[in-house]
Amino acid sequence: MFTASKPPQAPVAQPFPEPTVGTAPSGKLSPDIGLTPSTERKRKIQQLSEQPKIHSFTAGSNPSSPQGEAPVTCIQRFKQSSTVEKIQRELRRKKQARYRKKQSDHMMNLEKENEQLQQEVERLKRRRFSTTMAFPPRENLWSAALEYFRLFRHGLQEPEMMSLLSEEDKIQSRVQMAFFQSTMAPDVVFNADQGIDKMIQYWNFLSYAFKDMEIELKRMMQENEDSLVATSVTSVTISEQTLLAVFPHLSNEDTPELDETKVLLRQALVNQRITMLGSIRFEWDAINGQVTSVSIESDMLTPMLHLLGNLEDVSRVFADALLSLDFQWRPGANETSVSHQ
């Protein structure tokens, strides 16, 4: 026989002991009740860190400067700023001075190099002329014609004026004389005259009358085995010296007063540069290897007609001129002679 067992009874909860309430020395409740010592220290540290820091400033002091440093006044700041500006200006001045010196040195170097180049060019020219004189071109009609235009492109360097010539012109004059002697036959026919001396006189006259003469070779065409014709362009400037040498009747000093027509003609001609088309015909002696004939002519009528405007004035200008309209020398056309002839 079984007996019923009693159900287990739940344990009776015991009440927690009430905390003791302490009092602060002042009689108030202490805020530290129930706090551990470590928690209390953390709270105090946090309170101290949250308190604002108060700095004391004096008049004229810099709030951002650390406590105890001397205050910076406005005058001191102005002086510091002025000193910085002076230093910057001095640096700029020195920089500009260095730049100007660099530019000046560069220009001086360029001038020296230019002078050296000019001296080198002159040296090479003299060497070229000397080589030409020492090794004349191969003797044939074509080479003789080409050398003629090369040597007399700017006229003749007068041997009589050798003492007044530059070193280059002296060499040029000797080369020209050597060309006459080696390439031209002694009895060479030159225009209406004959002989090397007549050819030299002609070139002397042209070189005296026209200081800036230039003869340019355009082309050469061989007519037959022993002759060729070269086409040329001759440019000259009519100067006061040209009027005296070529057209002395337009400014005859024996006449007290020139008539109005001559004055107008002189004014129309002086300082005018004209260009003439022309040709030179060479004949060759193949047996002796020399030029036997040279015929020169240039069309002076066309540019003079362009300057003066009518044939009547052209005829008046060339009536007693020492050059003809085909650029031929006429030494007996006027009683007035040029001193160098």
Per DSSP, the residues of 253-299 read TTSSS--HHHHHHHHHHTTEEEEEEEEEEEEEETTTTEEEEEEEEE-
Residue 57 gets which letter from DSSP? -
Residue type, 200: I
Burial of residue 296 (CB within 10 Å: 0-12, 13-18, 19+) is buried
Residue type, 177: M
The closest alpha carbon to 152, from 220, 202, 221, belongs to 202
Query: What does the alpha-carbon distance between residue 222 and residue 146 come to, in Å, rounded to a whole number?
Result: 13
Predicted local distance difference test score (pLDDT) of residue 173: 77
Predicted local distance difference test score (pLDDT) of residue 297: 92
Predicted local distance difference test score (pLDDT) of residue 163: 54
Query: What does the alpha-carbon distance between residue 237 and residue 269 come to, in Å, rounded to a whole number?
Result: 9
Predicted local distance difference test score (pLDDT) of residue 72: 56
The closest alpha carbon to 222, from 141, 152, 301, belongs to 141
Rg of the Cα trace of the chain? 56
29 pLDDT more than 50 = no
Relative orientation angle of helices 167-183 and 74-134, to the nearest 10 degrees: 20
For 15-43, b where at least 16 C-beta lie within 10 A, e where not — what string?
eeeeeeeeeeeeeeeeeeeeeeeeeeeee
Question: What average pLDDT score do residues 138-163 get?
Answer: 79
The most distant pair of C-alpha atoms in the chain lies apart, rounded to whole Å, by 193
Question: What average pLDDT score do residues 135-150 get?
Answer: 78
Question: What average pLDDT score do residues 252-263 get?
Answer: 66
Question: What average pLDDT score do residues 164-168 get?
Answer: 64
Predicted local distance difference test score (pLDDT) of residue 269: 92
Question: What average pLDDT score do residues 219-244 get?
Answer: 92
The closest alpha carbon to 159, from 128, 201, 129, 130, belongs to 201
Query: What does the alpha-carbon distance between residue 130 and residue 194 come to, in Å, rounded to a whole number?
Result: 29
CA 336 to chain centre: 48
Query: What does the alpha-carbon distance between residue 176 and residue 184 come to, in Å, rounded to a whole number?
Result: 11
Average of per-residue pLDDT values in the chain: 76
* More confident position, 246 or 162: 246
Predicted local distance difference test score (pLDDT) of residue 259: 77
Q: Is 239 helix (H, G, I), strand (E, B) or coil?
A: coil
For 7, 8, 10, 254, the CA distances from 4, given in Å and listed in that order, are 9, 12, 19, 185
pLDDT class for 235, splitting at 50, 70, 90?
very high
Beta pairing partners, 222: 228
Question: What average pLDDT score do residues 121-139 get?
Answer: 59
Query: What does the alpha-carbon distance between residue 331 and residue 333 come to, in Å, rounded to a whole number?
Result: 6
Query: What does the alpha-carbon distance between residue 262 and residue 32 come to, in Å, rounded to a whole number?
Result: 137
For β-strands 184-190 and 272-285, DSSP reports them as unpaired
* More confident position, 120 or 66: 120
Relative orientation angle of helices 301-308 and 311-318, to the nearest 10 degrees: 120
Residue type, 213: M
Beta pairing partners, 224: 227
